[in-house]
Structure 1
Amino acid sequence: MPQLKGGSVNGFEILKDLPQDYTEIKIAMFDFDGTISTLRQGWESVMESFMVEMICGGNSPQEYVAREVRQYIQDSAGIQTIFQMRWLCEAVKRHGLNPVVFDEWEYKDEYNRRLMEQVETRVRRLMEGKADPEDFLIEGVQDFLKSLYEAGVEIYAASGTDHEDVLREAEALGVKKFFRKMAGAPKRKADCSKEAVLRELINEKGFGQRQILIVGDGKVEISLGSEVGAVTLGVASDEVRREGINPVKRQRLIKAGCHALTGDFKNYKLIMHWLRLAD
């Protein structure tokens, strides 16, 4: 295998050695949006405009508000949407520019309605055969999922997106078949699906932390994996191009403590070799 630590080969970069007691991955837990799917590409701009509008009310948008919102969205990428709307509720009160303050669930419903206008168009095109699933998948991810599946790895997905939407979008993209279980945000509950899935794998199914691989483009899942001692692969994906490295995500994932980084999965054979799942 090429020497990778401190360098990059085909966009794959090793940052930390695998744990000394690492043997072999038995479980892989994936984030969905931005790691596998780009159906929700552009969600950040939808959320930013929505949050700024809610905070400023009938007043002209304020640049200092927009800067704060942009930073928060960057920092919170990957968490369940309801927690972002809880922050919005607090921000509307704190800034005092808009006398109308809604409940966090009302904010979530309206944000989701706006976002789904563009997502539904993409899903409908897939369902009608007017678009190819590859148009909305990070490059090489199907090959990587298939390789893990054929190597006997149990694959799970956990997402901050609503559960029913995750299932529907995975079906439309043709990747649902690879997953033992997919868990999105539970309906009308403020529970972290990523933490719940990881807790189930460790506590209920009895898998050791070193047997679990966590793959994601957000600091939430990577930080969670680092905390419990799992192997972590950060995906610094460019969701517009669907390949290559997003430098902002890269820095965020390095800070979160990932073992290795990639921008896409065209290098899946190299990743499988690093995980000692292939020669």
Structure 2
Amino acid sequence: MTSEKQAVRIKAVLFDFDGTLSTLRAGWEEVMIPLFTEMITGDHQLTAEEAEKLNEEIIDYIDQSTGIQTIFQMRWLAEKVKEKGWNAEILGEWEYKAEYNRRLLLQVNERIRGLETGLYQPSDFLIKGSEHILELLQQCGIPMYIASGTDHPDVVHEAEVLGVRTYFKEIAGAPVGRADCSKEKVIRDLLGHEQFDSEGLAVIGDGKVEIRLAKENGALAFGLASDEDKREGLNPIKLERLHAAGADWIAGDFTDMTKWKQWLGLNS
């Protein structure tokens, strides 16, 4: 995708993490969808029509909420359980989050153990070209940041096991036990730095949340419509989502360095 917006040499880059650089959590939707269905339904026997409608509601919500902190998705779940009235056992949003994390981490921790024991290599869980763009930005003296809706300790640890932690000046994940919007905070903090204005900030992510925040704050918005299974190429669902969010440019990975240099104003 091209944009009429003129590329300027960027002064800082803010990356989303999951789905943008890392695929360690690929498949999280396949954990969240059945969890939502199970918690909302309880012991209630849904009709075929009810089941179809509920499934559509859940998938639509997850699609439009991709990129926000997990606790806000669990808040939606708690409200939906109450609204439907099918399940007599209504938990709090933090209890739902704890169960979601428990299920998700069964898969994620297996991948991390594989990395730590040498069964896997970091490149097995990084979007293609990630190391190249991080090296380029580091060589150009461009400070890099991560903002993620995943719990802060988990993001830091996952960046470490993937070997990319040292590239970043700051990593900001979701505060544990608090419902703070870390992505918005980091973007606003960056815009407040004296050494660059919004024209010098690039935001790169695969979700519409970070793209929207970038556009609202005058930063360059780069959509990463990644295919997390192949780790390269375009995911058509993400592509449509990022187009709708107003991304200035969209790619599926970081393999075309000539293109990324041009977009980031790093040709000179």
Band of TM-score, shorter chain: over 0.9
Is 1:176 equivalent to 2:161 in the alignment? no
Is 1:18 equivalent to 2:5 in the alignment? yes
User: Match of 2:44?
Assistant: 59
User: Match of 2:216?
Assistant: 227
Deviations 1:131-187 (A, max 9, x none): 011110100011011111111111000000000000000000011111000010001
CA distance in 2, matches of 1:191, 1:263: 29
Task: Give, as a single letter, the amino acid of the residue that structure 1 aligns with 2:119.
Answer: K
User: Match of 1:40?
Assistant: 25
Structure 1: gaps spanning 5 or more residues = 1-12
User: Match of 1:6?
Assistant: none
| Greater mean deviation of Cα atoms: 264-273 or 88-97 | 264-273
Deviations 1:2-35 (A, max 9, x none): xxxxxxxxxxx21x2225xx64200000000000
| Greater mean deviation of Cα atoms: 70-79 or 201-210 | 201-210
CA distance in 1, matches of 2:175, 2:4: 36
Report how far residue 205 of structure 1 moved.
4.8
Alignment identity in percent? Answer: 49
User: Match of 1:112?
Assistant: 101
Matched residues, number: 264
CA distance in 1, matches of 2:91, 2:179: 17
Deviations 1:41-88 (A, max 9, x none): 000010000000000012346222111101100100000000000000
Paired residues of 2:19 and 2:226 also in contact (CA < 8 A): yes
Is 1:214 equivalent to 2:203 in the alignment? yes
Is 1:77 equivalent to 2:73 in the alignment? no
Task: Give, as a single letter, the amino acid of the residue that structure 1 aligns with 2:10.
Answer: I
Is 1:28 equivalent to 2:13 in the alignment? yes
CA distance in 1, matches of 2:257, 2:94: 39
User: Match of 2:130?
Assistant: 141
Task: Tell me the secondary structure at the aligned position of residue 29 of structure 1.
Answer: strand
Task: Give, as a single letter, the amino acid of the residue that structure 2 aligns with 1:104.
Answer: E
Runs (4 or more) in structure 1 with deviation over 6 Å come to none
CA distance in 1, matches of 2:45, 2:124: 37
Task: Give, as a single letter, the amino acid of the residue that structure 2 aligns with 1:183.
Answer: A
Task: Give, as a single letter, the amino acid of the residue that structure 1 aligns with 2:161.
Answer: A
Report how far residue 268 of structure 1 moved.
2.3
Query: Counterparts in 2 of 1:244-263, with a 5 A limit?
Result: 244-263=233-252
Structure 2: gaps spanning 5 or more residues = none
Paired residues of 2:8 and 2:264 also in contact (CA < 8 A): no
Task: Tell me the secondary structure at the aligned position of residue 192 of structure 2.
Answer: helix
CA distance in 2, matches of 1:121, 1:59: 34
CA distance in 1, matches of 2:263, 2:154: 33
| Greater mean deviation of Cα atoms: 216-225 or 53-62 | 53-62
Deviations 1:210-260 (A, max 9, x none): 000000000000000001110011000000111110011001101111110
CA distance in 2, matches of 1:69, 1:161: 20
Task: Give, as a single letter, the amino acid of the residue that structure 1 aligns with 2:227.
Answer: D
CA distance in 1, matches of 2:156, 2:244: 30
Task: Tell me the secondary structure at the aligned position of residue 203 of structure 2.
Answer: strand
CA distance in 1, matches of 2:225, 2:263: 18
